[in-house]
Structures are given as structure tokens and as C-alpha cells.
Amino acid sequence: MKVQTAALVLSAVLHTVWGQSPVVSVQPRTAAVKLGETVSFHCRVTSGSQPVQLEWKRTNNQPLGDNVKLGPDGAVLTITNVRLRNQGGYRCIATNAQGKETTTASLTIRQPPKVRVTPSGPLSVRAGESVTLECSVTGKPRPSISWTKQGSDTELVSTTTETTASLQVTVMSAEDAGIFVCRAQSREGLAEGRVELRVEGGASARVFPQASVTETDLTAVEGQSVTMHCHATGSPTPVVSWSKLRAPLPWQHKVNGGSLTLNNVGRQDSGQYICNATSALGFSEAYVQLEVDSPPYATTLTEETVARPGDALRLQCLAHGSHPIRFRWTRVGRASMSPGAETTKDGLLKIAKLKLTDSGTYKCVATNHVGSSEVLTKVTVRA
């Protein structure tokens, strides 16, 4: 303890007597910035006899550049709007009467990868020919480069330099056509360039079939014609076929290109229709829901009823057609129904005790959103 204290005192004395050359450090020691950004390095004198003079120099002995500014006491070096040529080392030099001391900071530029593919394509190549696709990349740090074919993860063998990758493709058949992708990747990002290669006179890139319909829900009225359109894309061109879910297509149908026409539709034609686009690559389905509406057709269980005064009367009106169906009973030639008559929603007419005056013709009208239909029934009350 005593020895250390003595040493400290001694060194302080020596410094005072003979002075000390400066000790400097720089913060940060390294910096990595993107083009256009601003960066500063701070040079600090940690000890040494004053006065200390600070000075900055490039380690490559080039001038600092016009976008480099020094702080008032020379301690802070600031580079605004960083350019490629600002990359490199910066030396901070501290000088006093006793000597000189330097410390170095270094600046690296970060650049996300960029990719350029030549020729740009789409390229048409005859079977048997070959073509060279060149991919050049830029970026800092230097990105890795690879070629793949779209739809596959397998890296293709290419000839590479630090900044290029050349891919030679020999086209033997339509299978060799497709989209070729050059990918450049570094920790600053990922960039891709692509070029389409087609086989002349043959199929181009292979594209999975895709079926789509213009309308997914259709409504028609009985007796009308209905046309459904299906659009299919893909390469090779898919073949379109139509079917009906859990049933054969109606016999009065016609297929024309991607369209299905049903003539004189009936209620039984309601349901789901399926457009199927199929190619060698697979198939894709699209669905159309068809609802066929029909107007009501009304009937009664009895055309004519003969009863005695005091009997009970029950008349049921029935109808088929699209639901919901409303029923309405009236008396033909009379402004109002018989007093004591009662009707229900489902088409029943009830008269608890018939009178002679209840004789006459009754009418049931059945209505839905498409149309209406009526039926007459005769009631005769005889004593």
C-alpha cells in the first residue's frame, strides 16, 4: 500500500517537473453507416501537459474532403452525407511540447445489395441453344450471389466472381423454360433479379392452373336461361370442364369455351356448379351457387263442398314454388269474408258454424317474391 502511494506521488512529481506527452483515445473506434448518413468521431485527450493541439488526417494521406468538418477545438470530426470515398481510416494526432500521440478510427460504408440481370428478358431460345444469364451485384458488405429457378430451392451451378454470377442455360425442351432468379444477400438485406426464358415455338414458363368465376352466386326464375362464366389461366393452357355437385349436369346444357349455359332451368337445377381447370400441372376449381326460383302454383284439396247449416268448414289451400309463400282467402263477388270465418298463415280457411248465407265461391291467392297463383272452390250450404 505504502509503496504504491509513493509511486503515484513520484509519477505526479515527475510529470510536473518534466511534463508528459499526450494520451488520446477515439470514440467510436469503428463506425458503419449507410450512404448519405452522418457520422462523428470524438478524439479525447485523457492526459498530458497542456496545451495539446489536435489534428485529423486520413490514413491514406488523401485530403479529408469537403463534406468533412472539424469541431471548434478540433476534437470532433463529422462527416455529413457520407459518400463511398469517405470510407477508410481517420487518424487523430495530438501534439504538445513533450511529443505526439495518434489514434485511429475507421469508417465502413453499408450498402444494401442491388442486383442487375442481363439480358433483361424475356428471352426466346430455340431448343438445343444455350444462353448465358449474367447477374451483377453491388452492396457492402459484399453480398453472396446465387441463381435458382422459380418454384425450386435448388441452387444452380454458376461461374462467380466477387460481384457477378454467370449462369449458362442450355435449353433442350419446354421443361427448361421458366423464370430464373438471381438473389444477392448480405446482412444489409436481400435483392432479387429475374429473367424469363421461353422456348421458341414451345410453351413458356409453367404456371399452375387457376380457375375463377365472374359471379359466385346466381339467381334465376324457372324457365329462364342461365350462363356461368369461368376464366382459366395457366401454362400450359388448362382445359375447362363443368360439373354439378353430387348430380349430373342438367340435360339441357351447353358448354362453350369456359361458359356453361343452362336452358329452361327448373327448381331441381338449383345447386353448386364446379368449374375445373386442368393441365398437366394439376387442377383448380371454382364454384357457382345457382338458385332457381319458381312462382307459386296453388291448389285446394276439394273443388266443391256441400254442407248443412251449423256444420264446421275447413278448406286447405296448398301451393308449391319458392318459399316464403303467403296465402289469402277472399269471397268471389263479395267485399268481405263471411263473419265468423278465420284464416291461418298456412292457407287454412275455417268457419265454425256454417250459415245458409255462407254459400258461394271462395278464392285462395298464393304469392311469393316471383309471382302469384289463385284457385277457386265452391261451398254450398243446404238445409
Ligand X SMILES: *[C@@H]1O[C@H](CO)[C@@H](O)[C@H](O)[C@H]1NC(C)=O
Q: Which stretch binds ligand X (CB under 6 A): 173-181, 222-230, 272-280, 316-324?
A: 272-280
Among residues 55, 176, 192, 285, the one that binds ligand X under rule CB under 6 A: 285
- Minimum distance from CB of 210 to ligand X (Å)? 13
What are the grid coordinates assigned to 358, written together? 255462407
Using CB under 6 A as the binding rule, whether residue 243 contacts ligand X is answered as yes
Q: Whose Cβ is closer to ligand X: residue 276's or residue 300's?
A: 276
Using CB under 6 A as the binding rule, whether residue 279 contacts ligand X is answered as no
Helix or strand holding residue 129 (H, E): none
Q: Residue 74 and residue 76: Cα distance in Å, rounded? A: 6
Q: Whose Cβ is closer to ligand X: residue 86's or residue 276's?
A: 276
* Cell 444452380 belongs to residue: 156
- Minimum distance from CB of 141 to ligand X (Å)? 49
Using CB under 6 A as the binding rule, whether residue 287 contacts ligand X is answered as no
Using CB under 6 A as the binding rule, whether residue 219 contacts ligand X is answered as no
Residues contacting ligand X: total by CB under 6 A: 6
Using CB under 6 A as the binding rule, whether residue 281 contacts ligand X is answered as no
Sign of the four-CA dihedral 43, 48, 49, 55: negative
Q: Which residue, 153, 105, 107, 113, is CA-closest to 135?
A: 113
- Minimum distance from CB of 278 to ligand X (Å)? 5
Q: Which residue, 354, 298, 360, is CA-closest to 326?
A: 298
Q: Which residue, 112, 115, 136, 135, is CA-closest to 187?
A: 112
What are the grid coordinates assigned to 359, written together? 254459400
Using CB under 6 A as the binding rule, whether residue 278 contacts ligand X is answered as yes
Instruction: Please name the residues in contact with 187: beta carbons below 8 A apart, sequence gap of 6 or more.
Output: 141
Using CB under 6 A as the binding rule, whether residue 208 contacts ligand X is answered as no
Q: Which stretch binds ligand X (CB under 6 A): 155-163, 169-177, 270-278, 312-320?
A: 270-278
Q: Residue 144 and residue 256: Cα distance in Å, rounded? A: 52
Pairing of strands 76-79, 68-70: antiparallel
- Minimum distance from CB of 275 to ligand X (Å)? 9
Q: Which stretch binds ligand X (CB under 6 A): 34-42, 49-57, 67-75, 274-282?
A: 274-282
Using CB under 6 A as the binding rule, whether residue 283 contacts ligand X is answered as yes
Q: Residue 233 and residue 173: Cα distance in Å, rounded? A: 22
Using CB under 6 A as the binding rule, whether residue 276 contacts ligand X is answered as yes
Instruction: Please name the residues in contact with 26: beta carbons below 8 A apart, sequence gap of 6 or more.
Output: 41, 42, 43, 44, 92, 103, 104, 105
DSSP state, 6? H
- Minimum distance from CB of 212 to ligand X (Å)? 15
When CB distances to ligand X are compared, the closest residue is 276
Q: Whose Cβ is closer to ligand X: residue 107's or residue 275's?
A: 275
List contacts with ligand X (CB under 6 A).
243, 274, 276, 278, 283, 285
